[in-house]
Amino acid sequence: MEENIILTKHINKINPMAIDDYIKVNGYEALKKVLKDDPLNIIKEIKESALRGRGGAAFNTGIKMESVYNEKETDKYVICNADEGEPGNFKDRYLMENNPHQLIEGIIIAGYAVGSTKAHIYIRGEYDKSKNILMHALKEAKERGFLGSNIIGSNFNYEIEIFSGMGSYVCGEETALIESIEGKVGRPRIKPPFPTVKGLFDKPTLLNNVETLSNIPYIVLNGGSKYASIGTESSKGTMLISLSGNVKRSGVFEVPFGTSIKYIIGVLGETTFEKIKMIQLGGPSGPIIPLEMVDLKIDIDAMRKSNLSIGSGAIIVIDNHFNMFEILRKNIRFFEHESCGKCTPCREGIRQIRYILSLFVNNLANQSDLAMLEELTHYISETSFCGLGQAATNSVASTLKYFRSEYEMRIKK
């Protein structure tokens, strides 16, 4: 799969603190190319690549860029979501700390394409190392003329500012993140209007995560069709996987879409399958699947048909030493703590799920508790205001489907 490596190709081969190393591997050549081109041609290439957001929602990036471009406002913004608050995900941090200029170049190109003159990188508050490396990289880029006024002798001016989050999980949601940058309490907004129309300071805003924006320099240099030749029919390019849990070799791995979970765990993770009990996809907000589904391939639309999602790319392997109900209760405790409290289904419903799970942990649950658990997971998912509540019960809902016998066994006990 070496020929399909895009984002991690130069990691461990260049010094992230030296812009010259990035320039030696064609760094900022994509920026030089676009500054001589029409912004619409750049958007056309991104659309042709079929690049989809890697933050979990998987929306078409080119269409989002086109939407911002078409807005008549003169002031527009780009926001890079580097909050990465989902436990089990660490690939955005990996990119920022090992190839920061790739991200910066992608942000500048995106800004040029949509007609923006300023970007914000909203970085997770705990990511001190990532923040320091990015600040150094931004300083280098400005000194070399890739940022600031009249970039590389052109009429294009651009600035990038880093904004540190304060540890709130819900600020990973795009509108809560925008509220946070504006100095307000980080709570989600009503949509529509969407950020592409009315985002930061009520101006059109392009908002994507680190991995998504880091793909842009490659697409510009190699063409959208080349990028689209990698992956599957519905999911183009590669995806970064944060592999952790009960594996021999954890870490960040770049794989083309269509790669099986079995290959990621067995070959890349160098792990045998004898003791594996279940696998969580995407982190605590993602579904839990049994070992029997390990041949499942990473494909956005195909997985959605089975009501599954890879989210931001985390795969957490869990062996048979762990109690499923304890894991579920910890997941739900996390969301109970991180809920902003704005809507009743999330605020009250998650608390009730945590209580019912404690009954299962202690073998005190009955059939009506099981029925109530199913009802709550459905209504919380369907009626919560934002993505936090909508995804908070995924782990419970999936285990009710794939591990139902364990619930029934607890009731019998």
d(Cα 349, Cα 341) in Å, to the nearest integer? 11
How is the chain split into domains, by residue range? 2-228, 238-319, 324-412
Flag whether pLDDT at 2 surpasses 80.
no
- Is CATH 3.10.20.600 the classification given to domain 238-319? yes
In CATH terms, 2-228 corresponds, of 3.20.20.120, 3.40.50.620, 1.10.1200.10, 3.40.50.11540, to 3.40.50.11540
Q: Does 219 score more than 90 pLDDT?
A: yes
Q: Quick one: pLDDT at residue 7?
A: 97
How far CA 356 is from CA of 266, 288, 346, 411, in Å, comes to 35, 19, 15, 12
The whole-angstrom distance between residue 178's C-alpha and the CA centroid of its chain comes to 16
User: Which distant-in-sequence residues (6+ apart) come within 8 Å of 286 by Cβ?
Assistant: 280, 309, 310, 311, 314, 391, 394, 395
First to last CA, the chain: 49
Where is pLDDT greater, at 225 or 56? 225
Handedness of CA 79, 85, 87, 92 (dihedral sign): positive
> pLDDT by residue (tens digit) across 282-324?
999 999 999 999 999 999 999 999 889 999 999 999 999 999 9
Average pLDDT over residues 148-159: 96
pLDDT one-digit tens code per residue, 35-64: 999 999 999 999 999 999 998 888 999 999
Where residue 340 falls among pLDDT bands split at 50, 70, 90? confident
Map 167-225 to HEC letters: CCHHHHCHHHHHHHHCCCCCCCCCCCCCCCCCCHHHCCEEEEEHHHHHCHHHHHHHCHH
In the CATH hierarchy, which fold is given to the domain comprising 324-412? de novo design (two linked rop proteins) (1.20.1440)
Q: Which of 72, 61, 142 is nearest to 101 (CA)?
A: 142
Residues 63-117 have pLDDT tens digits of 999 999 999 999 999 999 999 999 999 999 999 999 999 999 999 999 999 999 9
3-state SS class at 362: coil
Kindly tell me if the per-residue pLDDT of 333 is higher than 60: yes
Q: Are 346 and 384 in contact (CB under 8 A)?
A: yes
Among candidates 101, 132, 104, which has minimal Cα distance to 14? 101
pLDDT value at position 3?
A: 62
Q: How confident is the model at residue 388 (pLDDT cuts 50, 70, 90)?
A: confident
Q: What is the mean pLDDT of the chain?
A: 95
pTM for the structure as a whole? 0.95
H helix or E strand, kind and range, residue 123: strand 118-123
pLDDT for the residue 387: 84
User: What pLDDT sits at residue 35?
Assistant: 96
pLDDT of residue 342: 87
Residue 222 structure tokens? 């190699």
pLDDT average, residue stretch 338-360: 92
What pLDDT, on a 0 to 100 scale, did the predictor assign at position 413? 66
Judged against a pLDDT cut of 60, whether residue 1 lies above it is answered with: no
